[in-house]
Chains A and B, each alone.
Chain A
Amino acid sequence: MNPFSVQTLGSEGDVEKLNLDAQTRYLAGGTNLVDLMKHQIETPVSLVDLSEWEGASEIEKTGNGYRIGAMVTNTELANFAWREPSLSVLSQALLSGATVQLRNRATTGGNLLQRTRCYYFYDTAKPCNKREPGTGCSALTGMNRIHAIFGTSEQCIATHPSDMAVALMALNASVSVKTAMGKNRDIALREFYCTPGETPERENVLEQGDLITSVYIPAGTRGTQHYYKVRDRASYAFALVSVAAALELNEETIHSVSLSFGGVGTIPWYPKKALEILQGNKFSVQLLEKAIDAELADAKTFGSNDFKPGLLRRVFLSVMLSLAQRQKKQPGHEGALYENR
């Protein structure tokens, strides 16, 4: 690890007093940043320690939604969301990510900004446009089993690894930011992440020094919810494919549907085309197939990940059919798919 100096953030108001140059990073739980610093992938000269940040570890339930402080841990958020039927999918996504040890340390802000798990991003001996712009993408023609099928470019096909972000995308969350100049701004999560295009090193719309202060989730009924994660082992592994879904039926008609996919996009994937086909229409297997096929029309595979479109299609159909079954059995049901909830 390279040497670095330490600055401390005691409150949001401190942002303007910090030295936030391009070589400075915020340090929250450190479960991603410290790892990347050990690998010399991140080499900041200064860290802003967030561990003493007052007031950023609270979850506030308002009339219209939930405000989650940036320093709320993944465990705290999972446990809270567990008791809120309309946030069930978020709790499931968090609990299926990493391990208890990591979730106890990881924070809401840090989780959103965690970097990809692409093997070549981690291997400093190999070219990687995300790590070192202009060097090339080793995954395009290399091992790309875990890589993306949506939102890829000639420069990068790495997936975004967060489970939490996938659920927050489905729940239409937004991110609140304090800029280095002390201004506040809110960004819809669905507009927060950037696909790689020609600049894979730019992963989101944040500007230098921007501090995530909280995440906001609008309240609302969403029906039956489920997060289904397919991975190489039963636990402690990143998603190959995941589906976050919520469905509310009114008799046979889709009253509301929320969807997002993980493990398949260069960013947590919001399937606009599928949603347009589903919303407000009569529920049927044919409609589901039409929706997922419309989304998959844009998918591009790279050899070792050729299995992903088929896997995503099957997981999507299975999840949606289970949700519909529950809605038909128990009209107006709100919360997790599991039988005993």
Chain B
Amino acid sequence: MSAIHINGESYPLPDDPRTTLLDFLHQNLSLFGTKKGCDHGQCGACTVLVDGQRMNACLMLAFQLKGKNITTIEGIGSNTELHPLQQAFIEKDAFQCGYCTSGQICSGVALLNEMAQSDPSIVSAQQDCSTREDIAERMSGNLCRCGAYPNIVDAIEQVIALERQS
């Protein structure tokens, strides 16, 4: 019963209730793709998907996630095929040091769904807002110290265009 599902595998919950999901990924599962930037919800480096919704792993205690399906960067795409957004990050040069990138990609993958189902953002309602401005607002929970922002928006825009075509 007390299991948590991560990238399709089930694991027992940690014994110590103080363990955050982020520390659980690192210390118990050696899944280091998810990064710790601030550990206080202020940077988005630790973004993962919980039942498809993006959340900050550093502020969630793992015991609260009993029965949930977590997807980390290791579970986006497969060993043989990149997710279209991962591919777009490479093509658009959407990172420099790469520390924020796993969080950016998890966040971007959720954003694609949110925009496809027309979830509102504070700028999407305004008449003259461009898709780029809307993406920037929706991605504001992911900081990038290298300032790769324009290229990150390019990568997301490219995948949105691809999805609209198909």
A-to-B contact residues, CB < 8 Å: 1, 3-4, 6, 27, 29-31, 34-35, 38, 47, 49, 51-52, 75, 78-79, 82, 91-92, 95-96, 98-102, 104-105, 234-236, 336, 338-341
Contacts and interface: CB of A to CB of B under 8 A. Distances in A.
A6 B63 contact: yes
Contacts of A49: 63-64
B111 interface: yes
A49 B60 CA distance: 12
Interface of B: 17-18, 20, 39-41, 44, 47, 50, 53-56, 59-61, 63-64, 66, 107, 110-111, 114, 119-122, 125-127, 136-138, 140-141
Contacts of B55: 101, 104-105
B54 A101 contact: yes
A98 B54 CA distance: 13
Contact of B120 (A79, A99, A105): A79
A167 to B, nearest CB: 13
B141 A338 contact: no
7 contacts: A3-B18, A30-B64, A92-B125, A102-B56, A104-B50, A104-B54, A340-B125
B61 A100 contact: no
B37 to A, nearest CB: 12
Contact of B141 (A3, A78, A102): A102
A58 B127 CA distance: 31
A101 B44 contact: yes
A38 B162 CA distance: 42
B41 A6 contact: no
B53 A104 contact: yes
Contacts of B59: 29-31, 34-35, 102, 105
Given A1-B18, A338-B125, A100 B40 contact: no
